[in-house]
Structure 1
Amino acid sequence: MRRRLIVTSGAGVLGIAVLNTLTGCSEKEADTPQAEESVNAGNVVVGDWQRVNLDFVSVYLLIRGNEVAVVDTGTSSAPAGIEAGLKAAGHGWDAVKHVIVTHQHQDHAGGLAGVAPAINGTIYTGADEVEAITASKPLKGLADGDEIFGLRIVGTPGHTAGHISVFEPDSGVLVAGDALNNMGQLTGANPQYTADMVAAAASVKKLAALDVKAILPGHGEPLTTGASDALQKLAASL
Structure 2
Amino acid sequence: MKIVELPIEFEFNGQKNYIYPSLIIVNNELTLVDTGYPHFLPLIEHEISKNGYEMNQLKNIIITHYDDHIGSLYDFKEKYPWVNIIASEVESAYISGEMKSERLIQAEEMLKNMPNEEKEFGKWFIQQLKNITHVSIDEKVRDGDMILDKKCRVVATPGHTSGHISLYFPDLKCVITGDAAVHENHELTIANPHFCLNIEEADHSLRKIKNLKADTYYCYHGGKLSLS
The structure 1 residue matched to 2:32, chosen from 52, 70, 81, is 70
Aligned length in residues: 179
Matches within 5 A, 1:93-172: 93-105=55-67, 107-119=68-80, 120-134=82-96, 135-149=134-148, 150-172=151-173
Which residue of structure 2 lines up, in the alignment, with residue 198 of structure 1? 200
- Displacement after TM superposition at 1:111 (Å): 1.4
Identity %: 30
- Distance in 1 between residues matched to 2:25 and 2:33, nearest whole Å: 11
Q: Over residues 42-80 of structure 1, what are the superposed CA-to-partner deviations in whole Å (9 max), with x where a residue is unaligned? A: xxxxx7211221243211101234201111111112211
Provide the TM-score with structure 2 as the length reference: 0.73
Q: Is the 8 A contact 1:130 1:140 kept in 2?
A: no
CA distance 1:90–1:65, change in 2 (3 Å): farther
Q: Over residues 208-236 of structure 1, what are the superposed CA-to-partner deviations in whole Å (9 max), with x where a residue is unaligned? A: 2213110000100310135xxxxxxxxxx
Query: Which residues of structure 2 form unaligned runs of 5+?
Result: 10-17, 97-133
Q: Is the 8 A contact 1:93 1:118 kept in 2?
A: no
- Distance in 2 between residues matched to 1:71 and 1:114, nearest whole Å: 15
* SS of residue paired to 2:21: strand
Which residue of structure 1 lines up, in the alignment, with residue 7 of structure 2? 53
* SS of residue paired to 2:69: helix
Q: Is the 8 A contact 1:61 1:69 kept in 2?
A: yes
Compare 77-86 and 211-220 and name the one that shifted more: 77-86
The structure 2 residue matched to 1:188, chosen from 190, 212, 215, is 190
More relative contact order, 1 or 2 (CA 8 Å, 6+ apart): 2
Q: Is the 8 A contact 1:86 1:92 kept in 2?
A: yes
Give 2:178's aligned amino acid: G
CA distance 1:91–1:221, change in 2 (3 Å): closer
- Displacement after TM superposition at 1:113 (Å): 1.9
More strand by share: 1
- Distance in 2 between residues matched to 1:118 and 1:147, nearest whole Å: 28
Provide the TM-score with structure 1 as the length reference: 0.70
Give 2:208's aligned amino acid: K
Q: CA RMSD in A?
A: 1.7
- Distance in 2 between residues matched to 1:166 and 1:94, nearest whole Å: 23
